[in-house]
A and B are shown apart, each in its own frame.
Chain A
Amino acid sequence: MTIHPEREIANLAGADVVDELEVAAMLETHGITDADAVSGYGEPDVFALATRLMRDRPAGPPAPVPEAAPWTPEPARHALRGLLYVLPALGYVAVAGLVAGRAAILLLAGSLGVAWAAGQALAYLGHVRLGRPDPDGARELLRGGTAFAVPLLILLIVGSALVFAVPPGAVMVASGQVVYLLAATVPLVLGAERLLALALAPATVAVPAGLIAGGDAVRSAPVLGAVCLSLLATVAVAVHVTRGAPVTVPGRAELTAALPYAAYGLCAAGLVLFVPVSRAGSAPAAAMAALIPLSLSMGLAEWLLVRLRIAGHRRLRSATTLAGFARHTRLAVTLTVAGYTVALAAGCRLAALTAERITGVTPGAASFVALGAALFLSLMLLAYGYRWPVIGACATAVGAELALLAGAADPETIQLGVTGLLAAGLFLAALTLLGRAHR
């Protein structure tokens, strides 16, 4: 039978074999039999030959090879996304005249809440399919999901408007808001941020121009027209990036899976809208200046979360004790939260100073910083798969705020206290849960 040179079979017992039986298995697939072991190598059988090769091999098992993380941080993209979260605010400036009275404001807030919920659910399902990876499926889902949710939500708005006698102007604004939020979700999930930015260009140019012109210019027909154009362009972008995909409604299982994200979207909307809605009519718009840095900071939040996950991925592969892993993770979580909070606080301060210079009113910022920190921590825990505890905490916070409001306390104070407590609780939860290796 074939006798292999000693050097060649010695190579079979490479550095990465785990024991002598693995060497024996490899010898056999190279056609070496017990007879060969006796005649060629002076060993009684293949097992004895394998044991000798294992003993004589020059090197031990190899050092681990670093693995690349499945995510990459893209600062420019996240900055653009932050901007895209802010720009729609311009639209509200143009349409503010159409929304007057308590019922109209509540309708607007309510429709924003449900649109946010639907958007979160759609985005989650889209990302799940993208991650499989099933990009065609993601496009199909986003197209079908949007086509399914938009008419449903508009029907809901019109129905509520009829019941509560809301004027048609506010109904149109609420509907436009729903259309925008859901349509914009599509390019935001599919990574077409630039197209969305392009769609928002008309409003981005027209509204500031109207503001600069002063007076009622910002509510004039041309500016309003530009805002409508941006809305239509956003719908066109959503249709364009999902072109060719069939319109199918998400199945029951997927809808159930998305439920937590819808619930989270609703809670987050409740927390964000609490101060603006409770202050509606009683405070100047400048008091809401901090909403701009808060929206912008969501881009920063996404970028920080990607970085945190990459660092965690690396740490899982370098730490050799659970205690060491937990220590490093807690430090990373603390630094990330601190970094975000400091950046948001600086942004809010800047917004407050600007608002003061323009309007002479100094808006408070602390409650928005506490809110931002709570939202950031909830997104962090969601990203790591902790859903219901986060939703439970956020829902409790919304409930507490509404209850305290009935006690006639000042909305900013309530917001600061409740979201501050929420942020502290979520921070402790993040330190504990993210320090675990196993999820």
Chain B
Amino acid sequence: MRLALLTEGTYPYAHGGVSVWCDQLIRALPRHHFDVYAICATGREESRWEVPDWATVHRVPLWPGTPPRRSPARPRPDVAGAYHDLLSSLVTPDGDAGFDRALRHLATAGDGTRLPDGDRPIGWLLDAWRHRPAGGPPMSVCDAMRIAEILERWLLPLLWPGPPADLAHATANGLAALPALAAKWRHGTPMLVSEHGVYLRERYLCLAADCYPWPVRATLLRFQRLLCTTVYRTADLVVAGNRYNRRWERHLGVPEDRLRTIYNGVDPDEFPAVTADPAVPALVWTGRFDPVKDLETLIRAFALVHERMPEARLRIVGGARDGDPVYRQRCADLAGELGAAGAVEFTGRVPAVREVYAHASVAVQSSVSEGFPYALIEAMMSGVPVVCTGVGGVPEAVGGAGIVVPPRDPDALAAGCLRLLADAGLRHRLGGAGRARALRLFTTERAVGAYDEVYRELTAGRPA
């Protein structure tokens, strides 16, 4: 089977959960051929993964150093009309149907389709904004220029001529799903979308308010919202990485019968069960430095643990490169202020995370937002008992085989840790239960097998 695997900003150019999962999926299925369409910024990004022979990476750069060569021909009137409708739909309320129609027209307009450029799209945006009933601050010519420029780039993957595929698998909603929409509309190619986080939800949080004037931000987010809902409506199947995310997918219009959950998995051989307790009570946290991980709460909670149990240690494992170095420093400073600096160790990135779990009494996660974190299922697979905040997919991952506490609550987090540190029996019981649960539900084999099954289902009845 020939699969088009669509990524944006992840595999093979970045580390992180989605890339790990792409690598697992490709490696486990050598009988398929994967055409990886990697949407990236400049096209000069370095590959961080060794791509197996049965996969081919095609770069889809949105911001190459030299601007895309323009064909001399003017865009066809119907293409210009569709682009005008698309831009207007971003500004008018209830633009959904217009957006859908226009996007489809652009996708199926034929090879070498060129969007109108110059002042025309800028004028369309300004006109539409002036006539919008919702009011709001005025859109300036500069705002409209920025929007037009970004949208022209964002739509590149839609106009990309992909090779024929038996199935298009987008590894996220949003821009990565554009080539899948195009293949679906052009050739009826079955379309599968996996979501580890919720793409649209992350766009709201990432497109920071201070980067763009309000009209720019509102229009760009409207584009992402309409795109994501179009993808949800059009996909043959949407696979959520956890049941929690399904709430957004259901809310945005994916019918229950086209929605499935497949959990991430890890390799049991890579994370063997830890048998012996470490010499001193040791809490570990693994991940990347990011404010959503709320390490302040973790450090405050540990300070409380440390007061009651001065021999306890906290190891914070994660490279400064894998996140925000300013945030890391703030966390280190906080540990100092709370008088726990000597007991908190920042190890940086480590080559083998299994070694970290081998010397851990308890694994802790303090995030305020999560999908279905690998760090958590790795700890469970290693048989290390977990204490974590009940956000996102975490409660369903833990499923009773660990302690779940509210987010942003150092007292509750500390109480959970102390309970486990004080009670070896409970620790071993929960650790064992976690490993059993992970072996049953969260193995690579199970995850990849479920996807292979989905591939077969979606392509069944189509000529090979």
Number of interchain pairs (Cβ within 8 Å) = 109
B406, A21: Cβ atoms under 8 Å? Answer: no
Main secondary structure of the interface of B (DSSP, over half): helix
Which of B209, B292, B408 meets A16, CB within 8 Å?
Answer: B209
New A-B contacts (17) at CB < 8 Å, excluding given A1-B406, A29-B369, A46-B247: A2-B409, A18-B214, A21-B200, A22-B221, A24-B201, A25-B201, A28-B201, A28-B391, A45-B247, A62-B137, A62-B214, A64-B140, A316-B141, A319-B140, A322-B126, A438-B118, A438-B148
Chain B CB within 8 A of A320 CB: yes
B residues whose Cβ falls under 8 Å from a Cβ of A:
117-119, 122-123, 126, 129-130, 135-145, 148, 200-201, 204-205, 209, 213-215, 217-218, 221-222, 225, 247, 251, 292, 368-369, 389-391, 406-409
Task: Sort chain A's interface into a size bin.
Answer: 35 or more
Is A194 on the interface with B (CB-CB < 8 A)? no
Q: A21-B225, A438-B122 are in contact. Are A61 and B130 (CB under 8 A)?
A: no
**In angstroms, how far is the closest chain B Cβ from the Cβ of A15?**
9
Q: Which of B119, B129, B247, B389 contacts A436 (CB 8 A)?
A: B119
Task: Find A61's partner among B148, B214, B391 (CB 8 Å cutoff).
Answer: B214
Which has the most chain A C-beta neighbours within 10 Å: B136, B141, B143, B247? B141
With both beta carbons as reference points, the residue of chain A lying nearest to B201 in the complex is identified as A25
Closest 3 CB pairs of A and B: A31-B407, A316-B142, A25-B204
Those of A291-341 within 8 Å (CB) of chain B: 315-322, 325
Among candidates A29, A61, A322, residue contacting B368 with C-beta atoms closer than 8 Å: A29
Q: Which of A34, A65, A318, A321 has the most CB of B within 10 A?
A: A321
For the complex formed, measure the closest distance between the CB of B393 and the CB atoms of chain A, giving whole angstroms.
12
Choose among A2, A34, A322, A437 the residue that contacts B406 (Cβ–Cβ < 8 A).
A2
Contact: B145 with A438, CB < 8 Å? yes
With CB as the reference atom, state the residue of chain A lying closest to B149: A438
Chain B residues in 8 Å Cβ range of A62: 137, 214
Query: Could you tell me which residues of chain A, from 392 to 439, have a CB within 8 Å of some CB in chain B?
Result: 436-438
Complex: A33 Cα to B406 Cα, angstroms: 10
Q: B214 touching A325 by the CB < 8 A rule? A: no
Q: How far is the CA of A380 from the CA of B375 in the complex (A)?
A: 58
Secondary structure of the A side of the interface? Answer: loop
Q: Contacts A28-B369, A31-B406 hold; do A316 and B122 have CB atoms under 8 A apart?
A: no
Encoded as 1 (CB less than 8 Å from any B CB) or 0, chain A from 340 to 377 comes to: 00000000000000000000000000000000000000
Q: Which residue of B lies closest to A45 (CB)?
A: B247
Q: List 28 A-B contacts (CB under 8 A).
A: A2-B407, A18-B218, A18-B221, A21-B200, A22-B204, A25-B201, A28-B201, A28-B369, A30-B368, A46-B247, A61-B137, A63-B137, A64-B138, A64-B214, A316-B141, A316-B142, A317-B140, A317-B141, A317-B142, A319-B141, A320-B139, A321-B141, A322-B119, A322-B122, A322-B123, A325-B141, A437-B122, A438-B148
Q: Does A47 contact B (CB under 8 A)?
A: yes
Is residue A136 contacting chain B, with contact meaning CB distance below 8 A? no
- Is A19 among interface residues, defined by CB-CB distance under 8 A? yes
Q: Can you name the residue of chain B whose Cβ is closest to the Cβ of A31?
A: B407
A25 to chain B: which residues have CB within 8 Å?
A: 201, 204-205
Contact A320 B126 (CB under 8 A): yes
| Chain A residues with CB under 8 A of B368 | 29-31
Q: Which residue of A lies closest to B130 (CB)?
A: A320
A437:B141 contact, CB within 8 angstroms: yes
Cβ A321 vs Cβ B369 within 8 A: no
B251 CB contacts on chain A under 8 angstroms: 47
- Contact A18–B407 (Cβ < 8 Å): no
Q: Mark A41-69, 1 if CB is under 8 A from B, else 0.
A: 00001110000000000001111110000
> How many angstroms between the C-alpha atoms of A316 and B142 in the bound complex?
5
> Within 8 Å CB of B122, what residues of A?
322, 437-438
Docked-complex contact B222 and A18, CB < 8 angstroms: yes
Bound form: Cα–Cα A437–B142 in Å: 8
**Min distance, Cβ B190 to any Cβ of chain A, angstroms:** 28
A30 to B389, CA, bound (A): 12
What's the Cα separation between A25 and B228 when bound, in Å?
Answer: 15
Complex CA–CA separation, A322 to B127 (angstroms): 9
Which listed residue (A18, A34, A320) contacts B140, Cβ 8 A? A320
Among B118, B213, B389, which residue has its beta carbon within 8 angstroms of that of A31? B389
In Å, the complex CA distance between A30 and B126 comes to: 36
Q: Determine the distance from Cα of A28 to Cα of B135 in the docked complex, in whole angstroms.
A: 28
Rounded to whole angstroms, the CA-CA distance of A60 and B126 in the bound complex is: 20
